[in-house]
Amino acid sequence: MADGGASSMILLVTSLLISGAASVVLLESWGDLAAANGTNAKGKVANSETDVSFSGDRGDVLLDNSGANQEITLYFQNTGSRTLDKSSFSIFVDGVAASTVGATTLYPANGVWATEYVIEVTVSDASFSYADNDLATVTIIVQSTATDGVKGTDSETAEVRLSV
């Protein structure tokens, strides 16, 4: 009888040690899941606070066809609550990734693309072959500056009428 009690006690202690170790692993996994969920929530907040819109008259967008490559001058406004990264954006004209020509101009010129500020961008591509009054679909994709370790993104697409 003493032998049966000792072996039962050994099995009980072993079971408690194994379940304790399993609890530690589960708690660590839960902590990792909670951290990932927090980061995901911060990313969603960043995306909801990042917003860009077209600025100016979309029915009268400047088209310069005097050079070797046509150039289109566009204006975009930061309409979100986060500062946008003025060096990290992409512009597509009729699905073609356009390259920025020259420096972008910020209005007002304080160096930061803050809320309600407008940026002027001139884009070009060798494939542009537009004429006066042509319509083009323009898309901009922007990214906010990092806050709390996350960046928000937004895009805007609109049809514009080009004017020489």
| Closest C-alpha among 157, 155, 153, 156 to residue 47 | 153
Residue 3 belongs to a domain: no
| CATH number, position 136 | 2.60.40
| Closest C-alpha among 140, 147, 22 to residue 82 | 147
Q: What are phi and psi of 148, to 5 degrees?
A: 55, 30
Number of compact structural domains in the chain: 1
Q: Do residues 117 and 87 touch, judged by C-beta distance below 8 A?
A: no
Residue 128 belongs to a domain: yes
Measured CA distances, 24 to 10, 17, 35, 64, 128 (Å)? 21, 11, 17, 66, 62
pLDDT for 2 equals: 54
Q: What are phi and psi of 53, to 5 degrees?
A: -140, 160
CA dist 62 and 68 (Å) reads 16
| Closest C-alpha among 115, 93, 112 to residue 104 | 112
pLDDT in tens, the chain (164 residues): 456 677 787 888 888 888 887 888 877 777 777 777 777 888 899 999 999 999 999 999 999 998 889 999 999 999 999 999 999 999 999 999 999 888 899 999 988 999 999 999 999 999 999 999 999 999 999 999 998 889 999 999 999 999 99
What 3-state class would DSSP assign to 128? coil
Residue 41 belongs to a domain: no
Domain containing 147 equals 50-163
pLDDT for 71 equals: 96
What the block records as the tokens of 79 is 């309409």
Residue 84 belongs to a domain: yes
Residue 64 belongs to a domain: yes
